[in-house]
Amino acid sequence: MDNSNIYQKAKQDLLEVGKKYNISEDKLEEFLVPDKVLEVKLPLNLGSEIIVFKGYRIQHNNKLGPYKGGLRFHPQVSRDETMALSLWMSLKAAVAGIPFGGAKGGVTVDPKVLTEKQLEELSREYVRKVFDILGPDKDIPAPDINTNPKIIDWMVDEYVKLSQKATHSAGSGQDVKSQKSQPYAAFTGKKAHGLSARIESTGFGGVIVLEKLIEKLNLNPKELQVAVMGFGNVGYHFADFASKKGYKIVAVSDSKGGIVKKNKDKFIPLDIPLVNECKQEKGSLAGCYCAGGVCDTRGGQMITNEELLELPVDILVPAALENVINENNMQNIKAKIIIEMANGPVSPKAYHYLVNKGVIIVSDILANSGGIVGSYLEWEQNFKNMKFSQKEALAKIQSILEKSFDNVWNLAKKNKTNLVEASYLLALEKLIK
């Protein structure tokens, strides 16, 4: 995964929209530069030696509210990648109409080589190094690649300890209720004090956006075939909710490849809950040819991720990595609709080529914004010391994203443009004035 120019891609997308719609170039250039770039050293004792890891927290823009964004542990975490992701978070919050700004963080580390104890110490050390810029009304991290509720709970525990120490030192007069609830609002994606629907919120939100699009296009979900690249948390929940809405999920993939099942030349819809159960048991999708309540190899076929992208389906859902649809494969894309559930899965060249061909692309800053909406609900319930049920949370996410989609759709119609451009334009209208 080459992220060396991911920030330049993000800038290029926005500068093109700005030029087309006469947005002040000076104001846009100023907006593109992050408010703060924090790089920290994270020494970790590995027993035989002390290794110093590099950590980042980039606060892009807080015009609409406190900074908000995920925190990833990955060997390829870089300043450039984190800057791009923080920019996208600013745009996502604006499109969703959520009172958050954009931020992103990460540690350049392969967490798989650490023991659980070492991983916990690294997580706590990160919080100690960036504590001063975090807070429920300042900057609110969340899980991302290779981080999870357990890691976030370690971070919250460290944050609460440091908060109590700081409050005691300052002799703060905060009321007891505030002290109990507000520190937990400094992070989202927690297991303790978390939102019951947080884990499925991104995938669920993507399906809500898809449903609105299909309704506008007057299509029948039951006649549409879908391929999902990436069967992690986002891809699985997208596939699961979409299949329950009647869409035919005919191919899914993970990092090792994808699966399809055919009868003669026709795809057989996969049984997504069974496929997921099989993957959890086997560790990968290989051999998980589950359809109609049965898992067997008859008609089953392993395909590469590249082959999945080029399948003759109606809807393609890249839900894994950046730039997977690019100038090398754009001419082979057969889907008429692309729902961007990953960050930046379509390169600028491929985007222009596909849009000119009539492909409808729903931008990541709209399609996968269910996550930031779920984070907002978790933050709100911590701040107000209350609790949403799963049903209430999903209903609120649906309501917010349906409104967001309508705003983007109407702006696209007004300006006679596509949904990607309209998403950027809507965000910039809120962020640059």
Which stretch of DSSP H or E encloses residue 421?
helix 419-431
Q: What is the mean pLDDT of residues 354-379?
A: 96
* Cβ contacts of 110 within 8 Å, gap of 6 or more: 73, 74, 75
For 264-276, the DSSP string reads TTEE----HHHHH
- Domain assignment present for residue 173? The answer is yes
Task: Compute the distance between CA of residue 423 and CA of residue 430 in angstroms, rounded to an integer.
Answer: 11
Q: Does 1 have pLDDT greater than 50?
A: no
Beta bridge partners of 68: 140
Q: What are the angstrom distances between the C-alpha of 1 and each of 12, 122, 140, 266, 322?
A: 20, 24, 27, 33, 8
In the numeric block, the tokens 């990607």 are attached to: 420
Q: Which domain holds residue 76?
A: 34-192
- Domain assignment present for residue 106? The answer is yes
In the numeric block, the tokens 């997504």 are attached to: 272
Q: Does 361 have pLDDT greater than 50?
A: yes
Structure-derived torsion over alpha carbons of residues 163, 99, 366, 418, reported in degrees to the nearest 10: -150
CATH of the domain at 104: 3.40.50.10860
Q: Does 152 have pLDDT greater than 70?
A: yes
Q: Which residues of 287-312 are buried (b: 16+ CB within 10 A; e: fewer)?
A: ebbbbeeebeeeebeebebebbbbbe
Q: What is the mean pLDDT of residues 30-52?
A: 95
- Domain assignment present for residue 86? The answer is yes
Report residue 4's pLDDT band, with 50, 70 and 90 as the boundaries.
low
* Active site (catalytic) residues: 104
The tens digit of pLDDT for each residue in 84-101 reads 999 999 999 999 999 999
Which stretch of DSSP H or E encloses residue 282?
helix 272-282
Using DSSP's 3-state secondary structure scheme, residue 48 falls into coil
Task: Compute the distance between CA of residue 338 and CA of residue 324 in angstroms, rounded to an integer.
Answer: 12
Total domains in the fold of the chain:
1
Average pLDDT, the chain: 93
Q: What is the mean pLDDT of residues 371-381?
A: 96
Q: What is the mean pLDDT of residues 183-207?
A: 93
Residue 218 phi/psi, 5° resolution? 60, 45
The tens digit of pLDDT for each residue in 271-295 reads 999 999 999 999 999 999 999 999 9
Task: Compute the distance between CA of residue 49 and CA of residue 17 in angstroms, rounded to an integer.
Answer: 50
Neighbours of 135 (CB within 10 A): 17
In the numeric block, the tokens 């649809």 are attached to: 325
* Residue 418 · residue 412 · CB < 8 Å: yes
CA 372, 374, 377, 378 torsion-angle sign:
negative
Task: Compute the distance between CA of residue 342 and CA of residue 346 in angstroms, rounded to an integer.
Answer: 9
Using DSSP's 3-state secondary structure scheme, residue 110 falls into coil
Q: Which of 140-144, 189-193, 226-230, 396-400 has the lowest mean pLDDT?
A: 189-193
- Domain assignment present for residue 87? The answer is yes
- Domain assignment present for residue 60? The answer is yes
Using DSSP's 3-state secondary structure scheme, residue 165 falls into helix
Task: Compute the distance between CA of residue 68 and CA of residue 415 in angstroms, rounded to an integer.
Answer: 30
Q: Does 418 have pLDDT greater than 70?
A: yes
Report residue 178's pLDDT band, with 50, 70 and 90 as the boundaries.
very low
* Structural tokens at position 136: 């429920």
Q: Does 12 have pLDDT greater than 90?
A: no
Residue 6: per-residue pLDDT: 79
- Domain assignment present for residue 156? The answer is yes
For helices 390-415 and 370-383, give the axis angle rounded to 10 degrees: 130
- Domain assignment present for residue 357? The answer is no
Q: Which of 53-57, 75-79, 209-213 has the lowest mean pLDDT?
A: 75-79
Structure-derived torsion over alpha carbons of residues 302, 146, 374, 167, reported in degrees to the nearest 10: 170
* Residue 65 · residue 92 · CB < 8 Å: no
Task: Compute the distance between CA of residue 299 and CA of residue 82 in angstroms, rounded to an integer.
Answer: 42
Q: Does 176 have pLDDT greater than 70?
A: no
Residue 171: per-residue pLDDT: 57
* Structural tokens at position 334: 């057969």
- Domain assignment present for residue 392? The answer is no
Give Dmax over CA atoms of the chain in angstroms: 74
Question: CA nearest 380: which of 126, 170, 99?
Answer: 99
Task: Compute the distance between CA of residue 279 and CA of residue 339 in angstroms, rounded to an integer.
Answer: 24
* Structural tokens at position 216: 């506008």
Residue 170: per-residue pLDDT: 61
Q: Does 305 have pLDDT greater than 90?
A: yes
Residue 365: per-residue pLDDT: 95
